[in-house]
Structure 1
Amino acid sequence: MGQIVEIAYANLLSPMILFFLMGILAVLVNSDLKVPSAFYVGYTMIILFTIGIKGGVELRNVSFLEMLPAIFAAVFLSIMMLFIAYFIVKKLFRFSIVNSWAIAAHYGSVSAVTFVAGIAFLDKVAVYYEAYMSAILVIMEGPAIILAIIFYKMYVQKNGGENNNPNSSLQHVVKEAFFGKSIFLLLGGIFIGFVAHTDGLIKIQPLFGDLFYGVLCIFLLHMGMIATQSIKQMEKLNPLSFMFAFILPIIGGTIGVLVGNVIGLSLGGAFILAILTGSASYIAAPAAIEQAIPKASSGIYLGSALGLTLPFNLIIGIPYFYWVATMLY
């Protein structure tokens, strides 16, 4: 217990978490602090490109066969979390089928911000992790979203329903899930990092490298504000109905560490796999679900993923996942 408290204390004092907490405080005290939307788009692009470029550079030294176990594990974990999330929110928390599939899509997908916070934590404690984990992030983004929408459409057809929205077609959904802005920027960054000349990468290092953690801190300040605003919008709802937002990260993260250990990942790699499995999407999933499952409540799926699970993982999940990993290695 002393070890996990020590890890949690160290995590809380990291600049990224402190910026996130400042964002929460800004909303709680009704500060007039605002982040211009243009800035948000700009630093989101920098963060996602930087993750991708770093991963692409590291992929030069990794064979596909070396990645194969992690790729299979990533797809398996994504699909597994989809069904675990659906079962919990439908059977235990009694949400409607429509909202259950929408929520499950978010918890089967992943959060890039939680991933980056986990990488930063490992860098701080000087723990090695596999270079290809950025590619695993990309792989885990889409499968659960697609499957959730397919099962929802099967349910609609079975019950004689019909959705004439052209943006809800499976082709459009696949495009949104696998080539939405977050995935596109990550894939683009990986491609650039993989094929670009080293001297060219050195020239862009000041923006896509040196400034990365500073930009990330401002991003987390903004995320803290948005997360708190999402929670405030849920004030009229029964808080106990959203306990799944804390249960699912613990389940997913614990299973992620175990699977990472079984397939032979390092301590750091298993920790990152736990973070991905225990996280919830609030960029790619909402964009696809809004179009494909319009009857689902965005306040529920976005409020839980962004307003509850993201803060939980940044403050509690990261030290917990790392502690579980250290128990196995």
Structure 2
Amino acid sequence: MGQIVEIAYANLLSPMILFFLIGIVAVLVNSDLKVPSAFYTGYTMIILFTIGIKGGVELRNVSFIDMLPTILSAVVLSVLMLFVTYFLVSKIFKFSITESWALAAHYGSVSAVTFIAGLAFLEKIEVHYEAYMSAILVVMEGPAIILAIIFYKMYLQKHGTETNNPNAKLSHVVKEAFFGKSIFLLLGGIFIGLVAHADGLTKIKPLFGDLFYGLLCIFLLHMGMIATQSIKKIEKLRLTSFLFAFILPIFGGTLGIITGSFIGLSMGGAFILAILTGSASYIAAPAAVEQAIPKANSGIYLGSALGLTLPFNLIVGIPYFYWVATLFY
């Protein structure tokens, strides 16, 4: 237990987490601090491109056969978290069918920010992880979103309440889930890192490399503000009704470690798989759910995924996942 407290303490004092906490405080004290939308869009693109480029460079030395067990495991974990979430929030926490499938889409998908924070944590403590984990992030983003919306549409058809909204069609949802801005930027970065000449990559390193962690800190400052704002928007918030936002990361992360060790990933790789399995999407999933499940309350799914699960994972989840990983390796 002393080890996990020590890891949590070290993580809490990292610049990224401190920036995130400052963002939370800024909203709580009603500061007029704001991040310009154009600046937010710009540094988000740089951060996602940087992750993709780094992953693409590393993929040059990895065969698809080596990646296949992790890819298959990642898809299975994503689908499993979809159904675990649906059962938990619908049967235990008594949310409606609509809210349950919306939440399942979010918790079956993944968070790029938690992934980035996990990579930074491993690099800080100099722990090796598999080079292709950025590709696994892309793999786990879409399947649960698509399946959740398909099951929700089946429910609507069964009860004769299917919508004719063109934006709710499956083709549109697939586009949002697999080619939304976050996935598109990651895929674009992976492609660039995979095929670009080494000297060309060296020339863009000052922007897509050296500035990465500084921009990430500003990004987390903004995320802290948005997370706190999303929580404040939930009407009649009772924490007992949202305990699933803390249960699911612990369950998913532990399952990710066990799976990673079983398929032969390194400790760092299993830790990253835990980060992905225990996280929740608040970029790709909300965009798709807003169109396909319009009756779902955005305050509930954004408030839980962004306002509760994200800060929980950044502050508590990361050290917990690493501690669990040390028990298996």
Q: TM-score higher than 0.5 here?
A: yes
Amino acid at match of 1:281: S
Cα distance in 2 for residues equivalent to 1:231 and 1:286: 15
Q: How does 1:193-204 map to 2 (within 5 A)?
A: 193-204=193-204
Match of 1:234 in 2: 234
Amino acid at match of 1:105: A
Q: How does 1:296-311 map to 2 (within 5 A)?
A: 296-311=296-311
1:274-325: per-residue Cα shift (whole Å, max 9, x none)? 0000000000000000000001110000110000000000000000000000
Match of 1:317 in 2: 317
Match of 2:36 in 1: 36
Displacement of 1:271 in angstroms is 0.2
Amino acid at match of 1:169: K
Alignment pair present for 1:89 and 2:89: yes
Alignment pair present for 1:257 and 2:230: no
Match of 1:212 in 2: 212
Displacement of 1:206 in angstroms is 0.3
Match of 1:182 in 2: 182
Alignment pair present for 1:5 and 2:8: no
- Paired residue secondary structure (1:49): helix
Cα distance in 1 for residues equivalent to 2:297 and 2:32: 28
Displacement of 1:235 in angstroms is 5.3
Cα distance in 2 for residues equivalent to 1:40 and 1:241: 32
Match of 1:287 in 2: 287
Displacement of 1:136 in angstroms is 0.1
Match of 1:168 in 2: 168
Displacement of 1:162 in angstroms is 2.0
Match of 1:136 in 2: 136
Match of 2:104 in 1: 104
1:244-297: per-residue Cα shift (whole Å, max 9, x none)? 000000000000000000000000000000000000000000000000000111
Alignment pair present for 1:72 and 2:72: yes
Cα distance in 1 for residues equivalent to 2:228 and 2:297: 18
Match of 2:121 in 1: 121
- Paired residue secondary structure (2:264): coil
Cα distance in 2 for residues equivalent to 1:129 and 1:287: 31
TM-score (norm: length of structure 1) = 0.99
Cα distance in 1 for residues equivalent to 2:246 and 2:143: 22
Cα distance in 2 for residues equivalent to 1:156 and 1:55: 40
24-33 or 106-115, which moves further after superposition?
Answer: 24-33
Amino acid at match of 2:93: F
TM-score (norm: length of structure 2) = 0.99
1:109-129: per-residue Cα shift (whole Å, max 9, x none)? 000000000000000000000
Q: How does 1:45-56 map to 2 (within 5 A)?
A: 45-56=45-56
Cα distance in 1 for residues equivalent to 2:131 and 2:105: 27
Cα distance in 1 for residues equivalent to 2:63 and 2:263: 16
1:197-218: per-residue Cα shift (whole Å, max 9, x none)? 0000001000000000000000
Cα distance in 2 for residues equivalent to 1:100 and 1:283: 18
- Paired residue secondary structure (2:177): helix
Cα distance in 1 for residues equivalent to 2:96 and 2:235: 20
Cα distance in 2 for residues equivalent to 1:41 and 1:244: 31
Amino acid at match of 1:61: N
CA RMSD of aligned residues (A): 0.6
Match of 2:62 in 1: 62
Amino acid at match of 2:67: M
Amino acid at match of 2:207: L
Amino acid at match of 1:196: A
Cα distance in 1 for residues equivalent to 2:12 and 2:237: 29
- Where structure 1 has 5 or more consecutive residues not aligned to the other structure, the ranges are none
Match of 2:15 in 1: 15
Question: Closer, same or farther in 2 for the Cα pair 1:170/1:235, shift >3 Å?
Answer: closer
Amino acid at match of 1:137: L
1:142-184: per-residue Cα shift (whole Å, max 9, x none)? 0000000000000000001121110100011011100000000
- Where structure 2 has 5 or more consecutive residues not aligned to the other structure, the ranges are none
- Give 4+ residue runs of structure 1 displaced > 3 Å after superposition: none
Amino acid at match of 2:81: M
